[in-house]
Amino acid sequence: MKYLDAFRDGAVARRMVEQLHARVADYAGQMTFMEVCGTHTMAIYQHGIRSLLPPQIRLISGPGCPVCVTPVDYVDHAVALSRLPEVVIATFGDMVRVPGSSSNLQHEQARGAEVRIVYSPLDALALAQKHPEKKIVFLGVGFETTAPTIAGAILAAQRQGLKNFFVLGANKTIPIPMAALAADPELQVSGYLCPAHVSAIIGPGAYAPLAEQLGVPCVITGFEPLDMLQGIAMLADQVLEGRPRVETQYSRIVRPEGNPRARDILAQVFAPCDVPWRGIGVIPGSGLCIRDEFAAFDAARRIAVEVEAPREHPGCLCGEILKGKVRPGDCPLFRNACTPENPVGACMVSSEGTCAAEYKYGI
Protein backbone atom coordinates (compact mmCIF):
# COMPACT_ATOMS: atom_id res chain seq x y z
CA MET A 1 0.00 0.00 0.00
CA LYS A 2 3.01 2.30 0.52
CA TYR A 3 3.17 3.09 -3.18
CA LEU A 4 -0.58 3.36 -3.66
CA ASP A 5 -0.96 5.75 -0.70
CA ALA A 6 1.04 8.35 -2.61
CA PHE A 7 -1.78 8.44 -5.17
CA ARG A 8 -4.48 8.74 -2.48
CA ASP A 9 -3.11 11.67 -0.50
CA GLY A 10 -6.09 13.75 0.70
CA ALA A 11 -4.16 17.02 1.05
CA VAL A 12 -2.78 16.76 -2.48
CA ALA A 13 -6.25 15.85 -3.80
CA ARG A 14 -7.75 18.96 -2.14
CA ARG A 15 -5.12 21.20 -3.77
CA MET A 16 -5.72 19.59 -7.17
CA VAL A 17 -9.48 20.05 -6.85
CA GLU A 18 -9.04 23.72 -5.89
CA GLN A 19 -6.75 24.29 -8.87
CA LEU A 20 -9.23 22.60 -11.20
CA HIS A 21 -12.12 24.76 -9.95
CA ALA A 22 -9.98 27.89 -10.43
CA ARG A 23 -8.88 26.84 -13.93
CA VAL A 24 -12.41 26.42 -15.30
CA ALA A 25 -14.06 29.18 -13.24
CA ASP A 26 -14.52 31.47 -16.26
CA TYR A 27 -15.54 28.72 -18.67
CA ALA A 28 -19.15 29.28 -19.71
CA GLY A 29 -19.76 25.93 -21.41
CA GLN A 30 -20.06 22.34 -20.28
CA MET A 31 -17.26 19.80 -20.61
CA THR A 32 -18.44 16.19 -20.89
CA PHE A 33 -15.70 13.64 -20.31
CA MET A 34 -16.34 9.95 -20.91
CA GLU A 35 -14.44 7.06 -19.34
CA VAL A 36 -14.35 3.83 -21.33
CA CYS A 37 -12.87 1.48 -18.79
CA GLY A 38 -14.81 -0.46 -16.17
CA THR A 39 -12.03 0.00 -13.61
CA HIS A 40 -12.23 3.79 -14.11
CA THR A 41 -16.02 3.59 -13.67
CA MET A 42 -15.57 1.79 -10.35
CA ALA A 43 -12.84 4.21 -9.21
CA ILE A 44 -14.97 7.26 -10.02
CA TYR A 45 -17.82 5.93 -7.89
CA GLN A 46 -15.61 4.50 -5.14
CA HIS A 47 -13.68 7.74 -4.58
CA GLY A 48 -16.63 10.10 -5.16
CA ILE A 49 -14.76 11.88 -7.95
CA ARG A 50 -17.94 13.42 -9.44
CA SER A 51 -18.73 15.23 -6.20
CA LEU A 52 -15.33 16.96 -6.32
CA LEU A 53 -15.70 18.45 -9.80
CA PRO A 54 -16.78 21.96 -10.73
CA PRO A 55 -20.23 22.27 -12.37
CA GLN A 56 -18.57 22.89 -15.73
CA ILE A 57 -17.28 19.29 -15.82
CA ARG A 58 -19.55 16.27 -16.19
CA LEU A 59 -18.37 12.64 -16.23
CA ILE A 60 -20.25 9.97 -18.15
CA SER A 61 -19.53 6.25 -18.42
CA GLY A 62 -19.10 4.57 -21.79
CA PRO A 63 -18.79 0.99 -23.05
CA GLY A 64 -15.76 0.07 -20.93
CA CYS A 65 -17.05 -3.06 -19.25
CA PRO A 66 -16.33 -6.03 -21.56
CA VAL A 67 -18.95 -8.27 -19.98
CA CYS A 68 -21.60 -5.53 -20.26
CA VAL A 69 -21.05 -4.90 -23.99
CA THR A 70 -21.28 -8.61 -24.84
CA PRO A 71 -24.65 -9.12 -26.55
CA VAL A 72 -27.30 -11.45 -25.23
CA ASP A 73 -27.00 -13.88 -28.17
CA TYR A 74 -23.41 -14.63 -27.12
CA VAL A 75 -24.65 -15.61 -23.64
CA ASP A 76 -27.35 -17.75 -25.29
CA HIS A 77 -24.65 -19.45 -27.40
CA ALA A 78 -22.57 -20.20 -24.28
CA VAL A 79 -25.68 -21.54 -22.50
CA ALA A 80 -26.49 -23.79 -25.48
CA LEU A 81 -22.91 -25.13 -25.53
CA SER A 82 -22.99 -25.77 -21.78
CA ARG A 83 -25.97 -28.12 -22.30
CA LEU A 84 -23.90 -30.44 -24.49
CA PRO A 85 -22.72 -33.38 -22.34
CA GLU A 86 -19.20 -33.37 -23.79
CA VAL A 87 -18.62 -29.63 -23.19
CA VAL A 88 -17.03 -27.92 -20.20
CA ILE A 89 -17.38 -24.13 -20.18
CA ALA A 90 -14.34 -22.32 -18.74
CA THR A 91 -14.88 -18.65 -18.01
CA PHE A 92 -13.98 -15.63 -15.92
CA GLY A 93 -16.39 -15.36 -12.98
CA ASP A 94 -18.45 -12.37 -14.11
CA MET A 95 -19.86 -14.17 -17.14
CA VAL A 96 -21.71 -16.91 -15.25
CA ARG A 97 -24.42 -14.58 -13.92
CA VAL A 98 -24.98 -12.51 -17.07
CA PRO A 99 -28.59 -13.08 -18.10
CA GLY A 100 -29.23 -14.67 -21.48
CA SER A 101 -32.65 -14.78 -23.11
CA SER A 102 -34.02 -17.53 -20.88
CA SER A 103 -31.15 -18.74 -18.70
CA ASN A 104 -27.60 -18.05 -17.60
CA LEU A 105 -24.55 -20.23 -16.97
CA GLN A 106 -25.13 -20.32 -13.22
CA HIS A 107 -28.59 -21.80 -13.74
CA GLU A 108 -27.19 -24.30 -16.22
CA GLN A 109 -24.51 -25.28 -13.72
CA ALA A 110 -27.21 -25.91 -11.11
CA ARG A 111 -28.93 -28.16 -13.65
CA GLY A 112 -25.76 -30.20 -14.10
CA ALA A 113 -23.74 -28.39 -16.78
CA GLU A 114 -19.99 -28.28 -16.25
CA VAL A 115 -19.04 -24.64 -15.83
CA ARG A 116 -15.60 -23.87 -14.39
CA ILE A 117 -14.43 -20.45 -13.20
CA VAL A 118 -10.86 -19.81 -14.35
CA TYR A 119 -8.47 -16.92 -13.83
CA SER A 120 -6.65 -17.17 -17.15
CA PRO A 121 -7.11 -18.84 -20.55
CA LEU A 122 -4.09 -20.96 -19.57
CA ASP A 123 -6.20 -22.50 -16.78
CA ALA A 124 -8.66 -23.54 -19.50
CA LEU A 125 -5.78 -24.97 -21.50
CA ALA A 126 -4.71 -27.01 -18.45
CA LEU A 127 -8.27 -28.36 -18.19
CA ALA A 128 -8.08 -29.46 -21.83
CA GLN A 129 -4.80 -31.28 -21.14
CA LYS A 130 -6.28 -32.98 -18.08
CA HIS A 131 -9.60 -33.99 -19.66
CA PRO A 132 -8.99 -35.20 -23.22
CA GLU A 133 -12.46 -36.80 -23.19
CA LYS A 134 -14.10 -33.35 -22.85
CA LYS A 135 -14.34 -30.29 -25.10
CA ILE A 136 -13.15 -27.29 -23.11
CA VAL A 137 -14.73 -24.06 -24.34
CA PHE A 138 -13.17 -20.85 -23.01
CA LEU A 139 -15.39 -17.75 -23.20
CA GLY A 140 -13.19 -15.19 -24.97
CA VAL A 141 -14.62 -11.93 -23.66
CA GLY A 142 -12.52 -8.80 -23.20
CA PHE A 143 -10.65 -5.96 -24.85
CA GLU A 144 -7.04 -5.64 -25.99
CA THR A 145 -5.78 -6.39 -22.48
CA THR A 146 -7.27 -9.87 -22.32
CA ALA A 147 -7.15 -10.80 -25.99
CA PRO A 148 -3.34 -11.36 -26.19
CA THR A 149 -3.54 -13.96 -23.41
CA ILE A 150 -6.31 -15.75 -25.32
CA ALA A 151 -4.25 -15.58 -28.51
CA GLY A 152 -1.30 -17.01 -26.55
CA ALA A 153 -3.47 -19.89 -25.28
CA ILE A 154 -4.59 -20.71 -28.84
CA LEU A 155 -0.97 -20.70 -30.02
CA ALA A 156 0.00 -22.97 -27.13
CA ALA A 157 -2.90 -25.34 -27.90
CA GLN A 158 -1.70 -25.54 -31.51
CA ARG A 159 1.90 -26.21 -30.42
CA GLN A 160 0.72 -28.96 -28.08
CA GLY A 161 -1.56 -30.49 -30.72
CA LEU A 162 -4.62 -30.20 -28.46
CA LYS A 163 -7.84 -31.14 -30.23
CA ASN A 164 -10.24 -30.37 -27.37
CA PHE A 165 -9.50 -26.71 -26.59
CA PHE A 166 -11.87 -24.10 -28.09
CA VAL A 167 -12.59 -20.39 -27.70
CA LEU A 168 -16.04 -18.88 -28.11
CA GLY A 169 -14.85 -15.50 -29.30
CA ALA A 170 -16.29 -12.10 -28.41
CA ASN A 171 -13.12 -10.03 -28.10
CA LYS A 172 -13.36 -6.38 -29.00
CA THR A 173 -11.16 -3.33 -29.50
CA ILE A 174 -11.86 -0.02 -27.79
CA PRO A 175 -10.75 2.94 -30.00
CA ILE A 176 -13.30 2.21 -32.77
CA PRO A 177 -16.43 2.51 -30.58
CA MET A 178 -14.86 5.60 -29.01
CA ALA A 179 -14.83 7.16 -32.48
CA ALA A 180 -18.45 6.07 -33.07
CA LEU A 181 -19.58 7.68 -29.81
CA ALA A 182 -17.51 10.82 -30.43
CA ALA A 183 -19.46 11.32 -33.66
CA ASP A 184 -22.83 11.07 -31.83
CA PRO A 185 -24.19 14.66 -31.67
CA GLU A 186 -26.52 13.75 -28.79
CA LEU A 187 -23.58 12.90 -26.52
CA GLN A 188 -21.19 15.78 -27.31
CA VAL A 189 -18.17 14.08 -25.76
CA SER A 190 -15.58 16.81 -25.04
CA GLY A 191 -12.83 14.41 -24.05
CA TYR A 192 -11.94 10.82 -23.26
CA LEU A 193 -10.33 9.40 -20.15
CA CYS A 194 -8.63 6.62 -22.10
CA PRO A 195 -8.27 3.19 -20.49
CA ALA A 196 -5.03 2.46 -18.69
CA HIS A 197 -4.45 -1.27 -19.17
CA VAL A 198 -5.69 -1.38 -22.78
CA SER A 199 -3.39 1.55 -23.59
CA ALA A 200 -0.42 -0.33 -22.15
CA ILE A 201 -0.96 -2.76 -25.06
CA ILE A 202 -2.15 -0.54 -27.93
CA GLY A 203 -0.08 2.56 -27.04
CA PRO A 204 -1.15 6.23 -27.22
CA GLY A 205 -0.92 6.30 -31.02
CA ALA A 206 -4.13 4.25 -31.28
CA TYR A 207 -6.11 7.32 -30.17
CA ALA A 208 -4.45 9.76 -32.60
CA PRO A 209 -7.37 9.67 -35.11
CA LEU A 210 -9.77 10.67 -32.31
CA ALA A 211 -7.76 13.77 -31.48
CA GLU A 212 -6.53 14.66 -34.96
CA GLN A 213 -9.56 13.84 -37.11
CA LEU A 214 -12.47 14.19 -34.67
CA GLY A 215 -10.94 16.89 -32.44
CA VAL A 216 -11.56 14.98 -29.21
CA PRO A 217 -8.96 15.39 -26.44
CA CYS A 218 -7.66 12.09 -25.06
CA VAL A 219 -5.76 11.45 -21.82
CA ILE A 220 -4.62 7.95 -20.85
CA THR A 221 -5.30 7.94 -17.13
CA GLY A 222 -4.47 5.70 -14.16
CA PHE A 223 -6.94 4.37 -11.61
CA GLU A 224 -6.01 6.04 -8.34
CA PRO A 225 -7.86 9.19 -7.18
CA LEU A 226 -4.93 11.53 -7.89
CA ASP A 227 -4.44 9.89 -11.31
CA MET A 228 -8.07 10.54 -12.13
CA LEU A 229 -8.03 14.14 -10.91
CA GLN A 230 -4.89 14.83 -12.92
CA GLY A 231 -6.33 13.15 -16.04
CA ILE A 232 -9.50 15.24 -15.76
CA ALA A 233 -7.42 18.42 -15.29
CA MET A 234 -5.33 17.57 -18.37
CA LEU A 235 -8.51 17.09 -20.42
CA ALA A 236 -9.91 20.40 -19.12
CA ASP A 237 -6.67 22.14 -20.13
CA GLN A 238 -6.92 20.74 -23.65
CA VAL A 239 -10.52 21.99 -23.95
CA LEU A 240 -9.58 25.45 -22.60
CA GLU A 241 -6.60 25.66 -24.98
CA GLY A 242 -8.69 24.38 -27.91
CA ARG A 243 -5.83 22.02 -28.81
CA PRO A 244 -6.99 18.38 -28.83
CA ARG A 245 -4.20 15.83 -28.57
CA VAL A 246 -3.33 12.49 -26.99
CA GLU A 247 -1.55 12.74 -23.63
CA THR A 248 -0.49 10.08 -21.15
CA GLN A 249 -1.07 10.76 -17.49
CA TYR A 250 -0.40 7.09 -16.64
CA SER A 251 3.18 7.24 -17.90
CA ARG A 252 4.46 5.03 -15.06
CA ILE A 253 2.93 2.08 -16.96
CA VAL A 254 2.05 3.11 -20.52
CA ARG A 255 4.97 3.34 -22.95
CA PRO A 256 4.78 5.43 -26.14
CA GLU A 257 5.06 2.27 -28.23
CA GLY A 258 2.59 0.23 -26.12
CA ASN A 259 3.43 -3.47 -26.08
CA PRO A 260 4.44 -4.50 -29.64
CA ARG A 261 4.96 -8.14 -28.64
CA ALA A 262 1.40 -8.47 -27.31
CA ARG A 263 0.10 -6.77 -30.47
CA ASP A 264 2.09 -9.22 -32.65
CA ILE A 265 0.53 -12.20 -30.89
CA LEU A 266 -2.90 -10.60 -31.28
CA ALA A 267 -2.42 -10.02 -35.00
CA GLN A 268 -1.15 -13.55 -35.49
CA VAL A 269 -4.32 -15.16 -34.14
CA PHE A 270 -7.08 -12.56 -34.58
CA ALA A 271 -8.28 -10.46 -37.52
CA PRO A 272 -10.45 -7.32 -37.31
CA CYS A 273 -14.13 -8.03 -37.95
CA ASP A 274 -17.56 -6.45 -37.60
CA VAL A 275 -19.16 -7.32 -34.27
CA PRO A 276 -22.27 -6.30 -32.32
CA TRP A 277 -22.00 -4.29 -29.10
CA ARG A 278 -24.87 -4.41 -26.65
CA GLY A 279 -26.88 -1.21 -27.02
CA ILE A 280 -24.72 0.17 -29.81
CA GLY A 281 -25.21 -2.38 -32.60
CA VAL A 282 -22.67 -3.65 -35.11
CA ILE A 283 -19.51 -1.52 -35.28
CA PRO A 284 -17.44 -2.30 -38.40
CA GLY A 285 -13.92 -3.51 -37.67
CA SER A 286 -14.31 -3.32 -33.88
CA GLY A 287 -14.06 -7.05 -33.16
CA LEU A 288 -11.22 -9.55 -32.99
CA CYS A 289 -12.23 -12.76 -34.76
CA ILE A 290 -10.16 -15.95 -34.81
CA ARG A 291 -8.29 -16.22 -38.12
CA ASP A 292 -9.10 -19.08 -40.52
CA GLU A 293 -5.70 -20.67 -39.80
CA PHE A 294 -6.86 -21.22 -36.21
CA ALA A 295 -10.45 -22.24 -37.03
CA ALA A 296 -9.83 -25.62 -35.35
CA PHE A 297 -9.95 -23.75 -32.02
CA ASP A 298 -13.05 -21.68 -32.81
CA ALA A 299 -16.03 -23.08 -30.87
CA ALA A 300 -18.49 -21.22 -33.10
CA ARG A 301 -17.14 -23.02 -36.17
CA ARG A 302 -16.27 -26.39 -34.67
CA ILE A 303 -19.11 -27.25 -32.27
CA ALA A 304 -22.57 -27.32 -33.82
CA VAL A 305 -25.38 -26.30 -31.50
CA GLU A 306 -28.79 -24.72 -31.84
CA VAL A 307 -29.08 -21.31 -30.16
CA GLU A 308 -32.40 -19.74 -29.20
CA ALA A 309 -33.51 -16.44 -30.74
CA PRO A 310 -32.19 -13.61 -28.55
CA ARG A 311 -34.54 -11.61 -26.32
CA GLU A 312 -33.41 -8.69 -24.12
CA HIS A 313 -35.40 -7.78 -21.02
CA PRO A 314 -37.68 -5.00 -22.35
CA GLY A 315 -37.19 -2.74 -19.31
CA CYS A 316 -33.39 -2.90 -19.12
CA LEU A 317 -31.62 0.32 -20.16
CA CYS A 318 -28.14 -1.25 -20.20
CA GLY A 319 -27.68 -0.33 -23.88
CA GLU A 320 -28.37 3.38 -23.24
CA ILE A 321 -26.16 3.30 -20.13
CA LEU A 322 -23.28 1.89 -22.17
CA LYS A 323 -23.61 4.83 -24.56
CA GLY A 324 -23.55 7.28 -21.65
CA LYS A 325 -27.05 8.55 -22.48
CA VAL A 326 -28.76 7.64 -19.21
CA ARG A 327 -27.65 6.90 -15.66
CA PRO A 328 -28.58 3.75 -13.72
CA GLY A 329 -30.95 5.81 -11.54
CA ASP A 330 -32.99 6.57 -14.68
CA CYS A 331 -33.82 2.87 -15.04
CA PRO A 332 -37.11 2.04 -13.27
CA LEU A 333 -35.77 -1.43 -12.44
CA PHE A 334 -32.66 -0.11 -10.64
CA ARG A 335 -32.68 -1.20 -6.97
CA ASN A 336 -36.20 -2.64 -7.47
CA ALA A 337 -36.36 -5.65 -9.75
CA CYS A 338 -32.64 -5.33 -10.56
CA THR A 339 -30.03 -5.77 -7.83
CA PRO A 340 -26.59 -7.45 -7.74
CA GLU A 341 -28.25 -10.51 -6.16
CA ASN A 342 -30.91 -10.62 -8.87
CA PRO A 343 -29.47 -8.80 -11.92
CA VAL A 344 -31.73 -8.12 -14.87
CA GLY A 345 -28.97 -6.79 -17.14
CA ALA A 346 -25.24 -7.27 -17.57
CA CYS A 347 -24.47 -3.77 -16.24
CA MET A 348 -25.63 -4.93 -12.80
CA VAL A 349 -23.71 -8.22 -12.91
CA SER A 350 -20.18 -7.28 -13.69
CA SER A 351 -17.88 -5.89 -11.03
CA GLU A 352 -17.06 -3.22 -13.66
CA GLY A 353 -20.65 -2.44 -14.63
CA THR A 354 -22.04 1.08 -14.15
CA CYS A 355 -25.26 -0.14 -12.51
CA ALA A 356 -23.30 -2.33 -10.09
CA ALA A 357 -21.01 0.63 -9.26
CA GLU A 358 -23.90 3.00 -8.62
CA TYR A 359 -25.70 0.35 -6.55
CA LYS A 360 -22.62 -0.18 -4.39
CA TYR A 361 -21.41 3.40 -3.94
CA GLY A 362 -24.37 5.66 -4.80
CA ILE A 363 -24.09 8.55 -7.26
Q: Report in angstroms how near the CB of residue 64 gets to ligand SF4 at its nearest.
A: 15
Nearer to ligand SF4, 72 or 229 (CB): 72
Q: Are the CB atoms for 164 and 131 separated by under 8 Å? A: yes
How far apart (Å, rounded) are the C-alpha atoms in residues 174 and 123?
26
Q: Please, are residues 58 and 106 in contact by the beta-carbon 8 Å criterion?
A: no
User: Could you say whether residue 355 binds ligand SF4 (CB under 6 A)?
Assistant: yes
Binding residues for ligand SF4, rule CB under 6 A, total 14
Q: Which C-beta is closer to ligand SF4: that of 182 or that of 347?
A: 347
* Residue window 183-202: x/- pattern of binding to ligand SF4, with contact defined by CB under 6 A: --------------------
Q: State the minimum distance, in angstroms, from the CB of residue 143 to ligand SF4.
A: 20
- 15-74 residues near ligand SF4, rule: CB under 6 A: none
Binding to ligand SF4 in span 301-340, by CB under 6 A: 316-318, 321, 328, 331, 333-334, 338
Distance CA(232)–CA(197), nearest Å, equals 18
**Of 99 and 222, which CB lies nearer to ligand SF4 in the complex structure?**
99
Q: Are 135 and 304 in contact (CB under 8 A)?
A: no
| Closest distance to ligand SF4 from the beta carbon of 318 (Å) | 4
Q: Which is nearer to ligand SF4, 154 or 317 (CB)?
A: 317
Instruction: Report the alpha-carbon distance of residue 182 to residue 185 in Å, rounded.
Output: 8
By beta-carbon distance, which residue lies closest to ligand SF4? Answer: 345
Spatial separation of the C-alpha atoms in residues 357 and 183, rounded to whole Å: 27
Tell me the one-letter amino acid at 261. R
CA distance 351 to 335: 16
3-state secondary structure of 146: coil
Nearest approach, Cβ of residue 314 and ligand SF4 (Å): 10
Q: Give the residue with the Cβ less far from ligand SF4, 61 or 249.
A: 61
Q: Which of 148, 344, 352, 357 binds ligand SF4 (CB under 6 A)?
A: 344
Q: In Å, how far are 127, 266, 279 from 166, measured between CA atoms?
A: 11, 17, 27
Q: How far is residue 125's CA from residue 156's CA, in Å, rounded to a whole number?
A: 8
Q: What share of the chain is helix, strand, coil (3-state, %, to 5)?
A: 45, 20, 40
83 or 327, CB closer to ligand SF4? Answer: 327
Where along the sequence are the contacts to ligand SF4 (CB under 6 A)? Answer: 316-318, 321, 328, 331, 333-334, 338, 344-345, 347-348, 355
